[in-house]
Each structure stands twice: as C-alpha cells, then as structure tokens.
Structure 1
Amino acid sequence: MMLIADSGSTKTDWRLVAANGTVQTLHTDGFNPYYQTTETIIDRLRLQLLPQINGAAVQNVFFYGTGCIGPTVNYIVADALKGVFPNLLTVDVNSDMLGAARGAAGQEAAIVCILGTGANACCYADGQITRGIQSLGFWLGDEGSGGYLGKTLVRDYFQERLPDDLRAAFHERYSLDRATLLENAYQKPFPNRYFASFTPFLTEHLAHPYVVILVKEAFRLFLTIYVRRFPEAGEWPVHFVGSIAYYFADQLSQVVAEEGMTMGRILKAPAERLVEFHRL
C-alpha cells in the first residue's frame, strides 16, 4: 500500500492507496521538523494516524511537508515514518512546495504558489522545481499567507487602526488582551497557526472595504515578492494551492489579473492530484 501526505503547519492530509486502487482519506495534525523532534512526530503518528489505517501494510510513503527543505531536516520526518512503519520499502520526504507543484501542475510548466498558513512560490517543469525562493518563515516572510493576514488584522486592532464597526465586532468575538497576544506570539509554539486562526473573521467580513484592501494588498505584495521576480511570470500560468487562495479566490483572481498574470488552478489542497501523479 502507498501512503501520500500533504502536511502543513496546521494539518496533514493523507491518502492511503491500496493495491486495487481504492483511496482512503485520513487527517492528522500538521508536522514541521523545525518545531518538532522525531520522537514527538512518532508519538503523534501513533496516536492519530495508526488508528485510522487499521493495520494496513504500508510499503511506500511519499511525504510533502512544510519545513522539509532538505536532508538536514528531512531526516527528522523520515526517521519518524520509519519508526512507525518499520517495513517500508520507500520513504520519500520532500517540501510542501514540491507537493503543491506536482499536485497543481502535474507535468506542466508553471509557476506554483502556496497560500495557506504560510506562503511560497516556485517555477516548476517536468515533475521538479526548476527555480525557487528561499522561504524565511513566518517572522521574516510569508507575505500574503494566513499568518500574515491574521498578524496584520490583530496589529491593526491593537493599534486602533481598524474601522470602529470592525473593531467592535473583533472585540466581541475574541476579547483578546495584550498579554494573551504576546504569549501566543513569542512564547508558545506555532505562532503562524495562531495568527492564521483569525482569518475566518476576514472571510466573514469580505464585503467591508477595510478587508478588501487588506486582502488584496497582501496578495499584491505576495506577487511582487514571490512571483514577479520569475522571468516566466508573464508567460506561464500561475497556480495556487492552500486554504487562503481557496477562500479568497475572487480577490486573488482580481489581483492576478490586475498584475497582468495568467491565473491557473486554485486548489484548497493537492492531495487528490498527488495520488494521480504517483500512480503514473
């Protein structure tokens, strides 16, 4: 049996593919080797994944994950998978960027972008990334992501830059105080997840001019920093993968068109199309 994982900082989408072609969908927490050890990941896999596969004999695992940028950290995830599935024939750990690209573009030449909890982009052709941008993570990058949108919203709330009606609605919903904010931002793990958790407030107020400007300008900044630097930006389609691209598709499509680029596919997650990629 084959197991395919698309892992973000928040959650992991798994597909268990049987020899007869049937596909089972599974879900667990997200994994990130920058924040978690092999032992921590093993414990989480045993608690959340193994009960869902009911003793299936997994032989091949293809894992695409945030933070899996190369051998210096990928081994943390690979060793965890080997610890949980000791009879593996193949364990292949790659970046979530490659997973997004293979899912969105297949074998096509395209620019592929991630807009979820985090953000990134690459040029992709023939099953491989041909040119990429070094992601600097939440505090030094991720413009346009859920983390970035949430951080901007919360910052404007505390600095009293939100319009009065939105400020009142935000206070009523979250009753957020400065001590709680700073604890989650600087002391607790996964600050990107924390700030991304505020994006549903934006989707609920999409008709508000403040929200329209915030979202569109965040996407414009993303395209400027991550996409326009590629010479292929004016020639190749630009695909997007991730919850932020999916839920803000109208605003994203508008900005892509305004920037003179060709909008490609928008996928909430690449897992389904990754099954087809690995079946070929």
Structure 2
Amino acid sequence: MIVIADGGSTKTNWCLINEAGRKIYFNTEGYNPYFSKTEYIVKSLNETLPDHLEKEKLTGVYYYGAGCSTPANKKIVADAMVQVFTNAEIFVGHDLLASCRALLGNEPGFAAILGTGTNSCLYDGNDITLNIDSLGYFLGDEGSGSFIGKRILSDYMKGYMPKGLREAFYDNYALTNEDIFDNIYNKPLPNRFCASFSKFLYDFKDNYEDYAFATIDYAFTAFFEALVIHYPNYKDHKLNCVGSVGYSFRDILSIVADRYEMGVGKIIRSPIDDLVHYHLELAPKG
C-alpha cells in the first residue's frame, strides 16, 4: 500500500492506494515547514489521520508539500513522516513538482500554484528547470490568497471597501483593526489567516463585481509582472495552474493572461487526482 499527499499551507489532500488498488481520499491540515516544525507535524498527523489507515502496512509515502524546497525544510517534514509511517519508504518533494506532474505529466511546459501562496516554474517533463522565487508571504506571493487577503484587510481597515461589503465583512467576522493586527503580528500562521479572506471575496463577488474584479485583477497582474514575464519566452508556453485561488477566479486569470499574450492551458483546484494518475501510470518504474 502506498499513500500520496499534496500538502498546501492550509490543507493536505491524501490518497491511499490499498492492496486491492482502491483509492481512499482524506484530508489533514497543511504543514509548511516554514511555519510547522517536526514535532507539530507528528502530533497533528497522529491526531488527525483516519483510524482505518493502517500506517504500519504502508510501503511508500510520497509527500509533496508547500515550503519543501530546501534540504533543511524537506528534513523537517521527512523526520515527521518517518516517525508516523515507520515501515514505509519516504519521499518528500516540493508542491511545485507535484503541480508540474499533475498538470503536465511527462510533457514540458509552464506550471504555477495560486493558492494560499504562489509559485511558478518551467518544467522539462521530468524536473523543474527554472523557478523564480515568489519570496513568500512577507515579500511576495503575488496573486495568492494571502496577497489578496492582505489587500482585502487593508481596504477594510482603511475604509476603502464598498460600504455594503464592509458591513458584510464585519457581520461575517466581527473583526476590529486591533483583532486583525493581533492575528497578523502575534498569532501563528498569519499567511493562512490572510488567505482565508479570499473566499469572502469569492462569496460576494456577484454583488460587488467592480470591486471584486479590480482586487483580483490587481493580484493577478502583480503575479504576471513580478514572476511570469521574467521567464524566458513565456509567451511560448500556456499558463497551467493549480490552486483554489487560480481555479475560483479563473475567468479573471484568463483575462489577465490574455492581456500578456499568454494562452491558458489546464487550471485545476487540486492536483491530487492527476498526481495519483502520474504515480500509477506515468512515473518511471524502478
């Protein structure tokens, strides 16, 4: 039995392939090693993995995670996986590689993540060949849920948000400016806190089309300006994208991509199904 996982900063999607070849899906929280250390990951997995998962029978764990881009960060996650899945071979890779394999399989191209955070790369059908660092929550992540959430929070706190939408925001969250500052500066996982408000904008976008479009257009334009246009010959590639933000606002993403003369390819919410297909059908054997 093997298990394949796609871990974002907010949520991890898992798929167990049992001895009969049946696929069993489940979720846990996300584990970004920039924010979650080994001890926390072990504790969370032991508390949240489903009871029917016979961990000792697993022979392989393929975990692709946000933040797993350096040897030190991979070790944080791998050390946790070894403690939880004691008899399995452990593979820990970057979630960007998972996106490439889900979106492109064995074909070369451009792949991006637009979820809680942002990432992008060129892929040769086997490995990532060029990755321009999005610089994370504090310095970049243009186009991501956290980037959009920061804009929403700023507009709310400054009073720039349309009056009716501002009232709806307070009705939903009852947050004062002091509450927001406390969540961002004093509590853990500020990136996840900010990203959560992109869903609020999605829920109200039909009632506030101009504000929603301007906010998302601003975010995706920043994504292109800060990252996409700096890839060599980017117009020769299609924009393939994984993530809840890219998927939820794919109509605006397509408009922005067209503005930059880049065609749109595959846009999916989660890579897990296509990633499972890759491991079962396309991955090199042996």
Same-fold call, TM cutoff 0.5? yes
Contact 1:113–1:240 (CA under 8 A) maintained in structure 2: yes
Other structure's SS at 2:113 match: strand
Task: Show the counterpart of 2:87.
Answer: 87
Partner Cα distance (1:166, 1:34) in 2: 33
Task: Show the counterpart of 1:147.
Answer: 146
Contact 1:68–1:95 (CA under 8 A) maintained in structure 2: yes
1:34 to partner: Cα distance: 1.5
Task: Show the counterpart of 2:6.
Answer: 6
Task: Show the counterpart of 1:34.
Answer: 34
Partner Cα distance (1:55, 1:118) in 2: 30
Task: Show the counterpart of 1:109.
Answer: 108
Task: Show the counterpart of 1:125.
Answer: 124
Aligned length: 279
Contact 2:67–2:94 (CA under 8 A) maintained in structure 1: yes
Partner Cα distance (1:9, 1:186) in 2: 18
Task: Show the counterpart of 1:240.
Answer: 241
Task: Show the counterpart of 1:273.
Answer: 274
Alpha-carbon displacement from aligned partner over 1:114-133 (angstroms, at most 9, x marks no partner)? 00000111001122101001
Task: Show the counterpart of 2:211.
Answer: 210
Task: Show the counterpart of 1:49.
Answer: 49
Task: Show the counterpart of 2:265.
Answer: 264
Other structure's SS at 2:151 match: helix
Partner Cα distance (2:173, 2:36) in 1: 29
1:150-165 pair list within 5 angstroms: 150-165=149-164
1:52 to partner: Cα distance: 4.2
Partner Cα distance (2:149, 2:196) in 1: 7
1:232 to partner: Cα distance: 3.2
Contact 1:26–1:52 (CA under 8 A) maintained in structure 2: no
Task: Show the counterpart of 2:61.
Answer: 61
Q: CA RMSD in A?
A: 1.4
Other structure's SS at 2:58 match: coil
Partner Cα distance (2:179, 2:128) in 1: 40
Task: Show the counterpart of 2:77.
Answer: 77
Partner Cα distance (2:49, 2:203) in 1: 32
Partner Cα distance (2:161, 2:42) in 1: 43
Partner Cα distance (1:79, 1:104) in 2: 28
1:54 to partner: Cα distance: 4.0
1:274 to partner: Cα distance: 0.8
Structure 2 residue 181 is matched with structure 1 residue 182: yes
Structure 1 portions without partners, runs of 5+:
none
Question: If the length of structure 1 is used for normalisation, what is the TM-score?
Answer: 0.96
Question: If the length of structure 2 is used for normalisation, what is the TM-score?
Answer: 0.94
Contact 1:109–1:236 (CA under 8 A) maintained in structure 2: no
Look up the equivalent residue of 1:206 and give its one-letter code: K
Look up the equivalent residue of 1:188 and give its one-letter code: K
Sequence identity percentage: 39
